[in-house]
Amino acid sequence: MTDNILIHKYDRVGHISLNRPKALHALTLDMCHAISTALSNWADDDSVEAIILDHAGGTRGFCAGGDINLLRKSALEDNGVMGRKFFHDEYQLNHQMMAYAKPIVCFMDGITMGGGVGIAMPAKFRVATEATRFAMPETGIGLFPDVGGGWHLSRLGGRLGQFLALTGARLDGAECLWAGLATHYVPSEMVADAKARIIEKPDRIGGVLSEMVGSPPEARLKKNADKIAKHFASDRYEDILASLETAIAENDCEWSTKERDTLGTKSPQTCKVALRQLAESAAMTDFADNMRMEYRIGSRVLVRPDFAEGVRAVIVDKTHDPKWNPATPEEVSDELIDSIFAPLPEGEEWVPLD
């Protein structure tokens, strides 16, 4: 067990709190194992009817992601061995949560990114607040929207998932509710009361949360929905870039220029990976198949040049000047993408928990 996870049981409700505040509760392997063990123990405990998942203290972050430093160290020092172990077990937790029979209520109160999205989206009830900042920013560090991101993002309407996967755009709580990423919106000041009521009445969670919704602000993203659907319509990355360039040339400048410039900072390799990932995920009917695919991608992308370079530029040195390899979308060949998605050798594929 780890001090970075607080596990309690209140009457008929199991309560899991992330407790790594200095890292905005980013997930370590030990944290993934602790959550998984708690869920396994409660799965067969008839006295537990529901699970609350949140973070301890403050509203700055629910969960900022996964253990990026471990992943980069693994990429540079052990050819990705420890990184693949992290991915494998983290993805087992994601799958365990998706298949979990009892309702999970996740309070996305604060930054919810990367690995945080991976443990939030499987929850039956996903509660956003005015402090929520939801994003899958992986293409900016040469990674891809994993932890089930292919599954969740590909099922959003209006090509919103493709937009989020490529740009890493941050959504607030009202935008998450509008997009369907959150099921409920509760002001931060009412979150403690919501948890107390759920503990009191775990058989009517939906009613409790609906009674506390209030009036969320208008979703700012909504005004750009038509542009997103138009310009991010293709599964071919070059087509998306060309569509934005055409809009700029036709003086539809401000939004298109902003998104064009944003994409210019991302890894061309992982933008192409993300588009194919979402296209393949959308056709799947089993979440385990999605996680098997994402583990194949993660195993390859982890040790390719862009990941270590992206983390160096954005997180370690903070120079924000990554030198991507390949440097342009045109240089990212179909053969390279095929090799990233190819099956792993026998005995190395991802498998769910027993």
Rg (alpha carbons) of the chain, rounded to whole number = 20
On the CB side of 264, how many CA atoms lie within 13 Å of its CA?
A: 9
Low-confidence spans in the chain with pLDDT less than 70: 1, 59, 213-214, 252
- The Cα 331–Cα 197 span in angstroms is 55
Q: What percent helix, strand, coil does the chain show, rounded to 5? A: 55, 10, 35
Q: Render pLDDT for 262-279 as a digit per residue (tens, 0 to 9).
A: 999 999 999 999 999 999
Give the pLDDT score at 251. 81
Quick one: pLDDT at residue 82? 96
State yes or no: is 115 an active-site residue: yes
Active site annotation includes 148: no
Q: Within the chain, what is the greatest distance between any pair of CA atoms?
A: 63
Q: Kindly name the residue from 54, 67, 109, 146 that is annotated as catalytic.
A: 146
Calpha distance 257→324 (Å, rounded): 21
Tokens of 3: 């001090």
Q: Active site residue: 61, 65, 66, 83, which one?
A: 66
pLDDT at site 354: 83
Residue 261: burial class (beta carbons within 10 Å; 0-12, 13-18, 19+): exposed
Q: Which residues pair with 16 in a beta bridge?
A: 7, 53
- From 54, 67, 138, 259, the catalytic residue: 138
**pLDDT score of 213:** 66
Tell me, what's the pLDDT at 224? 95
Helix, strand, or coil here: 305? helix
Residue spans of the domains in the chain: they are 5-135+173-211
pLDDT at 214: 66
- Look at the domain 5-135+173-211 and name its fold: 2-enoyl-CoA Hydratase; Chain A, domain 1 (3.90.226)
Of 61, 80, 115, 298, which is the active-site residue?
A: 115
The pLDDT value recorded for residue 1 is 59
pLDDT recorded at residue 59: 61
Active site residue 89: no
Tell me if residue 57 is catalytic.
no
